[in-house]
Each structure stands twice: as structure tokens, then as C-alpha cells.
Structure 1
């Protein structure tokens, strides 16, 4: 038990430091691009969007490959390679003399962004099936804590020099690499490994392979719809709050910090308290229903203060349902395909990062423009609520066939 706890802490430290590095760079990258574009904000915005798309595209294409490789060679070497790649990425960004270097860094970063999915597979290896959803929640909490602390530190360092946050992030990645090398043992025994095959080391092949398992096939559609719906906040939060409440950077920053706290509380603590009591199936239903109500609430509110009770309600939304969905899928897959599963989930998540931005920002932009039949700033949130309801309908259909209301 003590060994498992230490290994869990070690892999959570890997995820946190990795996310801290991403958070350090996040608020500075747009400004660095603007500097390379000689202050042209319009061109800088387009370039930032393209580089973000490249990052997501690389994750979409390569996450199943890295997951399949971790099933063949073990989790530890893949995590180490990912950390090395992230460190080199930040060195490129920190020393970049032009946009070409930035583009190369984003390609490497997207290609090597496997530590989250491989960390999930690692925890699945060392955690009993009935407790995996709670472990996946801890990964989310580490992610959320990095989301809170990283941008704050990045903003402070960026005020000194725009390149400094990237160099600090590089240092953290290399420290994380050394820490992982000496502290984190392999979690996948040789007898539980699976031969590598190119046919399943791609997004479509991975989904086809995992579709053999009924629980995975049934919940995969729920997962991708919910992840897509959840992207609306990430894509339109700044646009919506600026338009609706006339917020500036300070108010937006405080609200985003509150979202991070909600994420840590929900996935770090509430998941561990709630799931053993109500079960994974009820948690999925509750989380999707609350998320549908939550998104409709965001679209309806007219005063800035109203956003904070809704953020608090969010701890019972997709924040709870996501690790429950992942837990059920993980229990349906054997040990030698956990990497493939997590890689496929990471690939689908990246797909929502590619498809989501133009849809959600497009909806917002259209319904605040003169071309719209009426002004509706919350249109994207209302559409997101509808998508969550569709996901809820699919989940109820799947759960109904499996006596869903029995505790998980």
C-alpha cells in the first residue's frame, strides 16, 4: 500500500510539473508571436491559432501511437521521452529568433504531449479497477493545480523577459525528467505487454481495436460529445465575459483561478468522496445533467458576480463525470491495452481542440454581430447545453441496458 501511494505521488508530481511548465508559457506565447509579427495583432492572432491547431493535430495523430508503444515497451520510457521532448520544446521557444523556431517547438510539444495519457495508463496499472476513477480524478486535480499556479508565475516572469518563462519551463521539465528517472519505476510487467502493430497505432485503428469492448464503444461517444461541449468555456470565456460584463484582465484572471480551484476540489477531493457512495454510473448521469444546466446558466446570466455560484456548481458537473467515464472504460480493457485506451482518449480530446474553436467562437461571434437575427451573447453556451443533453441521452441509453442505477 505504501509503495503504491509513493508511486501515485511520483506520477502526480510528473503531471503537475508538466502542467506548470505549460501554464508558465501559456500567457506569454501570444505576446511573443506578436513581437515576431512586429506588433501586428491581427496577424499574430492568426499565427497563434495556426500554431495551436498544429499542437492539437500532432496530439490527435500521435497519442494512439505513443499509447501503443507504452503497451509494448512500458510506461516509464514513454514518460521519460515525453519529458525530454517537452524540455527541448521549451528550449526552442526560449531561444527562438523567429516564427519557424516557434513552429518547430509546437510540433515537438504536440508530438511529445503524452505524459498525461501515459500517466493515466500508469495509474491504471497500479490501481485496483474499482478505484481507478478516483485515481483519474487525482490526475485532473494535479492538472488543475498547475493551471492555477502556472499562468500566475508565467505572467510574473514574462514581465521581466518574454523568453524567461520558456527557459524556466525547460528547467522544470529537465528537473522532472531527472526526478522521474530515479523515482518512478516501471508499472507494466513484461508478461502484461502487447506486441506493437501499426494497424492500431493511429486514431481510427485505436478506436476500431477498442470498439471490441462493449463498455468502451458505448461510452466513447458520450466522452467525445461531453469533451466537445466542455470546450465552449475554454474557447469563449474571455470573449463572453469581456462582452457581457465588460471585464478586464484582472476580473478574467480571478474567474479563471476560481475555475482552477473548482477543478482541484472536484477531481482531487469530491470524486474520492462521492464515487464510492453513489457509484460511477450515477456520477455520469448527475455530471452530464448538471453540466447541461450549468452551460444554460452561463448563457443566461447578466451580472459578473453570478458566474461564481455557477463555477461552484461545476464541481458536480463533467468534473465528476469524466473520471467516472474513464474508470468504467479502463475496467473494460485489459492491462496490455491501457496505453492504447488512454492514447485514444487523448486523441479524441485533441480532436475537440481542433474542431471546437471555430464552432464555439463562430457561434459567439455571429450572435453578437449585426448579421444575427437577434443578439444572444450566450448562444454558444446554450448550444453546449444541448450537446450535453445529447450526451446524457446516449449515456442513459447505454446505462439502461446495463442496469445503470445499481451502484458502480
Structure 2
């Protein structure tokens, strides 16, 4: 309860900022199918390929930009950087709120792909960094669990609302929620870090570097300096080389994210092709997943971590994910999909456990960079996953499948989670953070 009171404005910002995206999530499959495969209500290979391309481009862009934005938040504050993903999320929703013809869908498709380069993974990585600023290392697993639980609660509420709203109303409501999130954050959320050299005394676009040059010159100089000194790929490789615990945790996170990325981006198209599911069925499934995820990450993660530690919790959660994917791969009816979702009670503990381990390997002034690097690695996995597995899923759902096993793609993904589980057993947790002296 103390953590909830202490971080209440962060939780409200995260909930409202993520609610709009989750509200539109169940409707995207139907809109995509109606736009690219009109008249077909089941399998559509083009939908798989478009989703794969969008997710790959967005993931590769986010891999570069998310660590950079995380590093900027270490210098200019979490609140300033949190504004960007929430503001940008309004524009794709506005397109489909206006009209949902094929041409408007493709406009949404391109806009969403470009904006996801900045917004995908940024909101949660900055929220975790904010929480790490505010709480001690011993309480971070609980704080991270609650942050993740709030994300899942917004997922639950968004899908629950989508179950009862029309498609036209969904995108209008999503726009309003994003606007409310921005206003709430700017009014109530306080900055979590003390900025050296008064970095937050002026907006980023008006930072002065000596002299009284105009704002455009100041912005250009800042942008140039920032890009020169905060190379995203250099930051990722630097953190991976500095300590084996961080690098092994990142490896686990990568393999787990390959399965998670496909599930998040393409599972609804698989279920539509396999069981002819619709928006309401997928929303109902998402409500179950969201409810279990909210309970898992706010209560189960912190409770189990206190008993078995972050490392063992991570391994148990990964093994539960492996079993879940195995069951999903052989599902013969939609009720089996519902039943397998019960394992989300454990599998959702992967994120807070991994992020907690990683956060304890860096100094307090590097929390944004560390969480941004993990999100960047996740984005890279999200980019790879659909490129490899979406064509495979389209093949095994078609009449030209080499053999009759529609869930073969999910079986392959199950083995990536098994690889993550094996790597998790090699993690040796070391709690003292890296000394800043090692950087010199």
C-alpha cells in the first residue's frame, strides 16, 4: 500500500496512457481483414505479411530509439520523455476515428509503424526507470510488479471496454483517453530525479550552451551533441560487456520476447484463421489474460520473489510460459486456448523479475539507460519474430501445409521460451551496482 501511495501518479499516468492502445487492440484484426481481404473472415496470408513487415520495421526502429530516449531521461528527466509516446499515440487513432476505408487503413498502417519506433517500449521502460528512482533496490521487484500490473490492468480494462463499444466509438474514446493522460501527467506527475546543471530548468528545445543564441541554434546544437554522445547501440553493447549478469538477463529477455512478440502481434490472426474468432472472442480472451496478468504482477511476483528470489522466479515463470505455448500449439478448440491462459498467472512474472535483476546491476543515474536497453533488445526480438514465424504460420494454416499441424508455429515458439529458461539457469545474481569508476 505504501508503494501504491508513493507512486500513485505514475500508476495513473501509465494506466491512462496505455488504455487507449489496449482499447483498439481487439478491433485491429477485423479492420485489417476487412481492408486487405474483403469478404474473407478466416485465413488471410496478406494480413500476416503486413503485420510482420510493420512489426519488423517498428521493432528495428525502437531498438535504436528506445535506449536513446532512456538515456535522455537520465539527463533531462523521466517526465519530459514520457510525454512523447503518449502524445504520438493520438495520431493513428485519429485516422481510424475519422474513417475506416481501405485507403485510411493504409494511412493508419504507415503512421502506426513510424510512431511505434518511438513509442513501442518507451512508456514501460521509462515507467520502470521512474519507479527505480523512487524506491530502494530491495523494493524494486514489488514496484516493478505493480507497474507491470497497472499495464495489465489497462490491458484488461481496454479489452473489456472494447467488448461493448462499437468499432467507430473505440477509436474516438482512445483519442480522448490519450488526451486525458497527457493532461494528468503534466499536472500531477512530479519529476523523479535531480538533474545536474539545471537541465530541466528549460525545455529541451531551449537549452543554452553559452551565449544568447536563438532557440533554433540551441536546439540544433543540443540534438547534434546528444546524438554524438548517446549512441544507442554503443550503450547496449557497453552494458552487455560490463557485467555478465546483465548480459545473461538480456539474453533471456531476448528469447522470451521472440515468443511474446509473435503472440502480441499475430496471435489474433492465427486464432481467426484457426478458429474463425472475432473481435468479441479475442476481447474476452484478452480480458482473462489481463485479469490474470494484473493479479500476477501486482501480487504474485512480489510474493514469490520474497520467497524464492528474482532468479528462481524468472526461471519458474519461463518454464510456465513453455508449458503454456505447448498446450496452445495443440489446441483443437477455442476453449483450450481459454484454459491455457491460466498459466499467465506465472508467465507474466518474467518482466518484473528480469527488469528487477537488471536494475540492480547499474547505478541510479543509469536506470533509464538500463531499462531502455532491455526494451531495445525486446524490440529487436519483436522485429525478428514476425519475419520468421508469420510466413510459417500462414503456410501451416493454408491448404498447402507440408503436414497437418496448424499449431506448428507456436510449437517452434515454445522452444524459444525453453531456450530462455535454460539461459536463466546460468544467471548469477550480484546485487552491488557497477561502480561509476569502472566507466573510466
| TM, length-normalised to structure 2 | 0.79
Alignment of 1:232-381 (within 5 A): 232-235=262-265, 237-242=267-272, 245=275, 247-317=277-347, 319-369=348-398, 371-381=400-410
Residue matched to 2:157:
149
Give the Cα separation in 2 of the matches to 1:366 and 1:37: 18
Tell me if structure 2 keeps the 8 A contact 1:93–1:105: no
Kindly state the Cα deviation for residue 218 of structure 1 after the two structures are TM-superposed: 2.0
Give the Cα separation in 2 of the matches to 1:315 and 1:193: 44
Give the Cα separation in 1 of the matches to 2:34 and 2:323: 41
Tell me if structure 1 keeps the 8 A contact 2:275–2:333: yes
Residue matched to 1:177:
182
Give the Cα separation in 2 of the matches to 1:190 and 1:261: 38
1:78 aligned to 76, 81, 84, which one? 81
Residue matched to 2:170:
165
Which residues of structure 1 form unaligned runs of 5+?
404-408
Change (3 A) 1:181 1:232: closer
1:127 aligned to 110, 135, 140, which one? 135
Tell me if structure 1 keeps the 8 A contact 2:274–2:397: no
Kindly state the Cα deviation for residue 123 of structure 1 after the two structures are TM-superposed: 0.5
Secondary structure class of the residue paired with 2:366 = helix
Change (3 A) 1:40 1:245: closer
User: Considering only aligned residues, what root-mean-square deviation do their CA atoms show, in Å?
Assistant: 3.3
Change (3 A) 1:402 1:30: closer
Change (3 A) 1:48 1:324: closer
The count of residues paired between Structure 1 and Structure 2 equals 397
Superposed CA deviations along residues 128-152 of structure 1, whole A, max 9, x for unmatched, are: 1122122222222122222222234
Secondary structure class of the residue paired with 2:89 = helix
Give the Cα separation in 2 of the matches to 1:337 and 1:78: 15
Give the Cα separation in 1 of the matches to 2:396 and 2:115: 37
Secondary structure class of the residue paired with 1:398 = coil
Kindly state the Cα deviation for residue 231 of structure 1 after the two structures are TM-superposed: 3.1
Residue matched to 1:406:
none
Tell me if structure 1 keeps the 8 A contact 2:63–2:376: yes
Kindly state the Cα deviation for residue 326 of structure 1 after the two structures are TM-superposed: 0.9
Give the Cα separation in 1 of the matches to 2:346 and 2:253: 16
Change (3 A) 1:89 1:6: farther
Residue matched to 1:25:
24
Give the Cα separation in 1 of the matches to 2:164 and 2:54: 24
Tell me if structure 2 keeps the 8 A contact 1:192–1:335: no
Change (3 A) 1:179 1:359: same
Superposed CA deviations along residues 224-278 of structure 1, whole A, max 9, x for unmatched, are: 0111123343355335545655655544432232112221111122112211111
Give the Cα separation in 2 of the matches to 1:30 and 1:304: 17
Comparing 122-131 with 247-256, which one deviates more in the overlay? 247-256
Comparing 59-68 with 356-365, which one deviates more in the overlay? 356-365
| TM, length-normalised to structure 1 | 0.84
Secondary structure class of the residue paired with 2:7 = helix
Give the Cα separation in 2 of the matches to 1:263 and 1:306: 18
